Amino acid sequence: MNRFNLDDTAMILIDHQVGTNTWAVTTPLALLQRNVLILARFATGTGMPLVLTSSQEDNVDIQGPLMPELAAANPAAFAARIRRSGVVNAWDDDAFAQACRASGRRNLVMAGVTTDVCMVGPAISAVQEGFNVQVVCDACGSSNPIAEEMAWRRMESAGVGLSSTQAMVAELVRNWASPAGSVAFPLLLG
């Protein structure tokens, strides 16, 4: 897999909703939310394209709205988020897939909840379409460890790279003394 750079990568965050986040017991909720916000704020601070999507936000009792902190992190991306009507594999939603393609980037950093339902499909579909994909595992989570492990295995066997928030940010920064490094440090240490 190629190393990802700021100028060839887009950040894609899938279904980080106030309800669905609570289903991700394999990643503690506070850590999951922290890492999602690091990714969103890093993308915003470095000018990377940021694509957000949600599924059935109106289903407040189960899925709920997208994390409101994402609106503060990037109001434009939040306003442009792709609101899916319930399509499980986000890549099957034409508006979402088109938004990812329209980023103009061939490398996609993805995270989503739940890993085994919401993340596997779009990650594998994007790879099948010719994108390079790295999934940030600690900004994802599943309802149980077996489901999480099977999701990781499925994605890896399909050519999806797996990473962590800090490792992904470090790969994109490349040099802590760079402008991107000055964006990353406060986020990672905060």
Query: What CA–CA distance (Å, rounded) separates 32 from 181?
Result: 22
Q: Which residues are catalytic?
A: 118
Query: What CA–CA distance (Å, rounded) separates 51 from 172?
Result: 17
Distances (CA, A) of 57 to 53, 62, 79, 85, 86: 10, 9, 13, 8, 9
Reading the block at residue 130, the tokens are: 């010719």
The closest alpha carbon to 135, from 165, 167, 162, belongs to 162
By CB neighbour count within 10 A (0-12 exposed, 13-18 middle, 19+ buried), where does 18 fall? middle
Reading the block at residue 109, the tokens are: 């950093």
Query: What CA–CA distance (Å, rounded) separates 63 from 48?
Result: 27
